[in-house]
Amino acid sequence: MNSGVNSGANAGVSAGASASAGAEVSAEVRQTTFNLRFADNQAAALLFGPHGDHLTLLERLLDVRIVTRGSALAVSGKATQAHTARSILDGLYKKAANGSALNADDIRAAAAFATENISAAKSTETKSTESENTESESTESVSVAGASSEPSTGADTGAGVSTGVGTGAGVSTGASTSTEISTEISTGAGRRALPSFATPRRTIAPRTPGQAKAMEALLAHSVVFLSGPAGTGKTYLAVAAALAALADGIVERIVLCRPAVEAGERLGFLPGDLREKVDPYLRPLYDALGDMTDGQTLRRRLEQGTIEVAPLAFLRGRNLARAFIILDEAQNTTPVQMKMFLTRLGDASRLVATGDPSQVDLPADQESGFADAWQRFAHARWLGAIALHEEDAVRNPLIAEILRGYRRNKQET
């Protein structure tokens, strides 16, 4: 990397900046600075991203400044944010050095889990420790992957966070506390390893703490409700769980369905056979399947009935044993339809309903069956009910901003 990466909140510093410039930045904002040197130039280039885009994104997400010089960089910011950015960079560098490609989603996911786990760690610290972390300042140099390190100057007072994105623990800097941010998630009961689903094309891992909780629910419960706005991965995670269960022999078939409710439009008469008539309603499910299964395998499974995609009404009267049943767009069911769907659960089957309560296309006087069932069963022991939020939107970063705009407008009116 020969170009400097500038922070949106601070004046830009060019790549040719010396170590003393990094110290000046630290002195100017009276915060912590870490100097990182990466031994593998190719892995460092993958870490930094095209034109330093990954570093620019990390700066924005964590409110830190990152200045590059060749394959070295300096991270400056408030103690906690600087420690967090340092550990994320360390873990992602190890992932790149092991041959894994990196993209913006990896940066966002690492930052999301870091923020979640740092918040959990902060809640256990004493007020005196928090005061020391915010008032003290230090400058550190850290060696990465065998590179030589410079002696540390000043006291290390930030809460250290070690990451091992894909590889394990990161570089230790002598901090008093350490929190794994990429392979575990904080919960009220402690910390657990992140779940994943192995599908034919790829292994699906959570991108946000909310998605991790949704995946844990899909693994732990026979019946799961996933609620949340567009782009949070509800349907995608449910399909991934179904494909993984099919591959592991937990179920023998997958049944995917949606209520055939028009989304604010009048589609009129649809030509063709039965599949052609209902396909427009079921296309999102096909898209998720196609992303995780090659076309030939998907076509074969559809022809054999191992994967069945059908309108919700076609499930009436059926007893689905050893099946993974997914109801997408469940907010558009009536209470009667939702009751019918829930009672299709057969022996050794799993059932998932996904819905967005903010996008109900039913008539104004018609109650949503998804909302009704959520109210009835959300606290039942046998049900995993997970509500995803706008911060879990991963389809495109702008979706979270769009959702926030609609929420603000609704609150104002």
Question: In the prediction, which pLDDT does 22 show?
Answer: 43
Question: In the prediction, which pLDDT does 159 show?
Answer: 30
Q: Write out the chain's pLDDT in tens, 413 residues.
A: 333 333 333 333 333 333 344 444 433 345 788 888 898 888 899 999 998 899 998 998 888 999 988 888 899 888 888 888 888 898 889 888 888 888 888 888 888 888 776 665 555 554 445 545 544 455 555 445 433 333 233 333 333 322 333 333 232 233 323 333 345 544 444 555 778 899 998 888 888 889 999 999 999 999 999 999 988 999 999 999 999 999 999 999 999 998 876 544 444 555 665 556 667 777 888 889 999 999 899 999 999 999 998 888 889 888 899 999 999 999 999 999 999 999 999 999 999 999 999 899 898 899 999 999 999 999 999 999 999 988 888 766 677 677 778 777 666 55
3-state DSSP call for residue 22?
Answer: helix
User: Is-contact 328 285, C-beta < 8 A?
Assistant: yes
- In the DSSP assignment, the letter for residue 226 is E
Q: Two tokens at 348?
A: 């050794």
Q: Two tokens at 381?
A: 């022991």
3-state DSSP call for residue 48?
Answer: helix
Question: In the prediction, which pLDDT does 304 show?
Answer: 92
Question: In the prediction, which pLDDT does 411 show?
Answer: 60
Q: Two tokens at 218?
A: 């899909």
Which residue type, as a one-letter code, is found at position 29? V
Span(s) in the chain for CATH 3.30.1370.10: 19-187
Question: CATH number for the 19-187 domain, one of 2.60.120.200, 3.40.50.300, 3.30.1370.10, 3.90.1200.10?
Answer: 3.30.1370.10
User: Is-contact 207 109, C-beta < 8 A?
Assistant: yes
- Other Cβ atoms closer than 10 A to 283: 12
Span(s) in the chain for CATH 3.40.50.300: 195-412
Category of 206 on φ-ψ map: left (φ > 0), alpha (ψ -120 to 50) or beta: beta
Question: In the prediction, which pLDDT does 28 show?
Answer: 39
Q: Which of 209, 182, 206, 21 is nearest to 90 (CA)?
A: 182
Question: In the prediction, which pLDDT does 148 show?
Answer: 32
**Which residue is it, tokens 């702008």?**
398
C-alpha distances out from residue 5 to 13, 94, 379, Å: 7, 21, 48
Number of H helices, E strands in the chain: 13, 14
Please state which CATH number belongs to domain 195-412.
Answer: 3.40.50.300
Q: How many Å apart are CA 393 and CA 396, to the nearest integer? A: 7
- Other Cβ atoms closer than 10 A to 362: 15
Find all residues with CB under 8 Å of 42, minimum gap 6, and list them. none
Q: How many Å apart are CA 223 and CA 125, to the nearest integer? A: 37
Backbone Cα Rg of the chain: 24
Find all residues with CB under 8 Å of 5, minimum gap 6, and list them. 15, 48, 52, 55, 56, 59, 66, 67, 68, 73
Question: In the prediction, which pLDDT does 84 show?
Answer: 87
User: Is-contact 198 129, C-beta < 8 A?
Assistant: no
